[in-house]
Structure 1
Amino acid sequence: MHTDFEMAIKNTKTNAENLIAAADNMYNEQIQQQKLAQTNNTNQNAEEENADKQLNQGRAKIYQLAHDLERRMREFDERVARRRYILDINLNFHTHCEEYSDWLTQVELVWSTTGGDDDDHVMIAANCEEMLEALIEQREGAIEACATIEQEGQILLDYLT
């Protein structure tokens, strides 16, 4: 979805650049026409001065519009980059939340089925130490995962507000 959006932006930028180039070409053609008219009519100084003034005003307006368009495109690019960043942060946050939730479900399943038989006390006692070590590791992993998810969530909130 965002890739399509970026392609549309790229096309818009290309169109804007083509528009600026076309305006520049039109201006250059007007100058050429003015020079041609000057060589044909050397006795029309007032008209030449008026034509020069109009061309200079047209040129100034074209370049002003071109600079305005370039500025707007830069601002638009910045907004698109910000949108991309927010989408990336959002994706990471939700992916990690889902992975953590899946992991918790698996841990819960493992711990709910490791009780063993009530009659098998020797087996339960032997596995108790291993289970305790596994539980400590899982707890540390859970704390790290929660801290990461919390940081990503905070970054996302800060960026959105």
Structure 2
Amino acid sequence: MLRSLFARTGIPEQLVSDNGPQFTANEFQVFLKRNGVRHITSAPYHPATNGLAERFVQTLKQGLRAMADEHSPLNQKLANFLFAYRNATHATTNQTPAMLFLGRGLRSRLDLLKPNLRRTVQDRQRKQGLSAHNGETRQFEIG
């Protein structure tokens, strides 16, 4: 599963996990070593040592509680929360998680309200090209 994830996102420099048997197994340790991944484990039986994960769990619970009145399936609520979280500016980095991970923001319905300058320019250039050649697109041929 990790090989599939690494194929999409690249090999991380480090992996933080608890001391679960799946993470302490020899085969897993060899896999990480071959891929040059540093493995950091949290203190056993002390979940608070992973403060970032604990804070995210609090944020997630708070977000799901806020959607308690909505009559939609839990999967849809979770997807809506993750979309909003990934598209919100983070206080520490002053960027969205999507921007840091993908190099671009996630397109939302709010984007429909503001004009897309790139698309407007492309449409106008295409129209100018068509009108300059009597409505026909130019084509190149060998010879």
Bin the TM-score by the shorter chain: under 0.3
TM-score, normalised with respect to structure 2 = 0.20
Which structure carries more helix by proportion?
A: 1
Question: Which protein has the bigger strand share?
Answer: 2
Which structure exhibits the higher relative contact order, with contacts defined as CA atoms closer than 8 Å and separated by 6 or more residues?
1
TM-score by length of 1: 0.18
Larger Rg: 1
